[in-house]
Amino acid sequence: MSALNPELRRRVITIYKELLFLGREYPLGYDYFRPRLHRAFSANAGLRDEEAIEKGIQRAEFVKKEIEALYYLKRYRTLRKRYVPGA
């Protein structure tokens, strides 16, 4: 990938770091999240086609949004239990 497009490489590394950061609060724990994330990115490490790399980046962005939604839902449920009687 380094010989292809440095911009794509930067985007892949950035999304990987963002997902690692989000994984710290994953419900099953960081020790569960990190190896699976690493395996998913390693499986696509050999990609050379820019369209395939772009598709992988889009999928990673989708996963990032899903994880963020999971965290917001968890926080909402916690606050609701804390402040709404009978919830």
Residue by residue, DSSP assigns 15-81 as HHHHHHHHHTT-TT-HHHHHHHHHHHHHHTTT---HHHHHHHHHHHHHHHHHHHHHHHHHHHHHHHH
Indicate whether 66 belongs to any domain. yes
Place of tokens 């911009």: 7
**Quick one: pLDDT at residue 84?**
87
Q: pLDDT digits over 22-36, tens only?
A: 999 998 999 999 999
Indicate whether 46 belongs to any domain. yes
Indicate whether 1 belongs to any domain. no
- Residue range(s) defining the domain that contains residue 25: 6-83
Q: pLDDT digits over 12-61, tens only?
A: 999 999 999 999 999 899 999 999 999 999 999 999 999 999 999 999 99
Q: How far apart are the C-alpha atoms of 83 and 85, rounded to whole Å?
A: 6
Number of domains present in the structure of the chain: 1
Indicate whether 44 belongs to any domain. yes
Indicate whether 61 belongs to any domain. yes
- What pTM did the predictor assign? 0.84
